Amino acid sequence: MALTKCPSCNKRISSKARECPHCQFVLAGQSKEDIQRERRRLNQEKSDKLVSRSMLALIIAIAAFTYLFMQQPQPQSWGYNIAIGGIVVGLIWFVINRVQLMFLKKKR
Ligand SMILES: [Zn+2]
């Protein structure tokens, strides 16, 4: 019995399985092309999500930086702490999404 990868969740499943036991993705009755197309579509969806998430993270970092630059809040004030937090979290989030995107592209 050969093993294949579920096109939906990428877990190893039997090639004879009618549906994925992990995510219930239906495999039966689908041709190889159908499954390939579905896999590509899901990858595209995932990468779109990562791109928009990384843009959101970048916007947060830029907004926080702009606030810090324009308002120049007192160090240790809540506004200052929130701005610094926003920059750090935004940048880290951005990098995480970009790295995930890189791995997704490599896998294809
Ligand atoms: Zn699955």
Q: List, in sequence order, every residue forming a beta bridge with 19; answer none if it has no partner.
A: 26
Q: How confident is the model at residue 55 (pLDDT cuts 50, 70, 90)?
A: very high
> Measured between alpha carbons, how far is 11 from 58 in angstroms, rounded to an integer?
32
Which amino acid does the sequence have at 70?
M
Would the pLDDT of 20 be above 70? yes
How high is the pLDDT of residue 52? 97
Ligand 1: centre distance to CA 27 (Å): 9
CA distance linking residue 37 with residue 20, whole number of Å: 17
Q: What is the pLDDT of residue 35?
A: 80
CA–centroid distance, residue 10 to ligand 1 (Å): 6
* 52 Cα–ligand 1 center, Å: 25
CA of 5 to the centre of ligand 1 (A): 8
> Is the predicted pLDDT of residue 82 greater than 90, yes or no?
yes
Domain ranges within the chain, ordered by starting residue: 43-107
Closest to 62 (Cα-Cα) out of 40, 28, 94, 33: 94
Q: Are 47 and 97 in contact, with CB atoms under 8 Å apart? A: no
More confident site: 90 or 26: 90
